[in-house]
């Protein structure tokens, strides 16, 4: 993809500083996008059951083809890195079991 490049170390630090001031929901969304490479629509399509199984975070997260850009292809699987693993816990205030949001989505889109 033209114009795409990794963030420099300085850009990463700027992003981390900016993210600290966000709400837990927005911080989880930015972390999900940054650590997984998912688009915002893909992050918003994640459900609690696609992230948690048996009250534990899954080792990898998949986005169904219907939620991918273009709406076709195969499920996109991404391993859960430690930084990404901490985001849902902070969002839901988890100690053990996840809290279900309305409609079962992991992160509810705000109007």
80: in domain: yes
Total domain count for the chain? 1
Residue 44 contacts residue 107 (beta carbons within 8 Å): yes
Q: Which structural domain, as residue segments, surrounds residue 41?
A: 9-101
The 10s digit of each residue's pLDDT in 29-54 is 888 888 888 888 988 888 877 887 77
The 10s digit of each residue's pLDDT in 64-111 is 888 888 888 898 898 888 777 776 666 665 543 444 444 455 555 554
pTM of the model: 0.66
CA distance 87 to 82: 9
Biggest alpha carbon–alpha carbon distance for the chain: 43
- Per-residue pLDDT, 100: 45
């Amino acid at each position: 993809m033209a114009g795409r490049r990794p963030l420099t170390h300085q850009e990463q630090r700027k992003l981390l500083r900016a993210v600290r001031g966000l709400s837990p929901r927005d911080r989880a969304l930015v972390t999900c996008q940054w650590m997984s490479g998912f688009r915002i629509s893909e992050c918003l399509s994640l459900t609690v059951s696609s992230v948690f199984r048996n009250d534990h975070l899954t080792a990898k997260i998949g986005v169904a083809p219907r939620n991918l850009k273009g709406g076709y292809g195969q499920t996109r699987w991404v391993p859960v890195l430690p930084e990404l693993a901490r985001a849902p816990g902070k969002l839901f205030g988890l100690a053990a079991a996840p809290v279900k949001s309305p409609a079962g989505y992991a992160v509810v889109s705000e109007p």
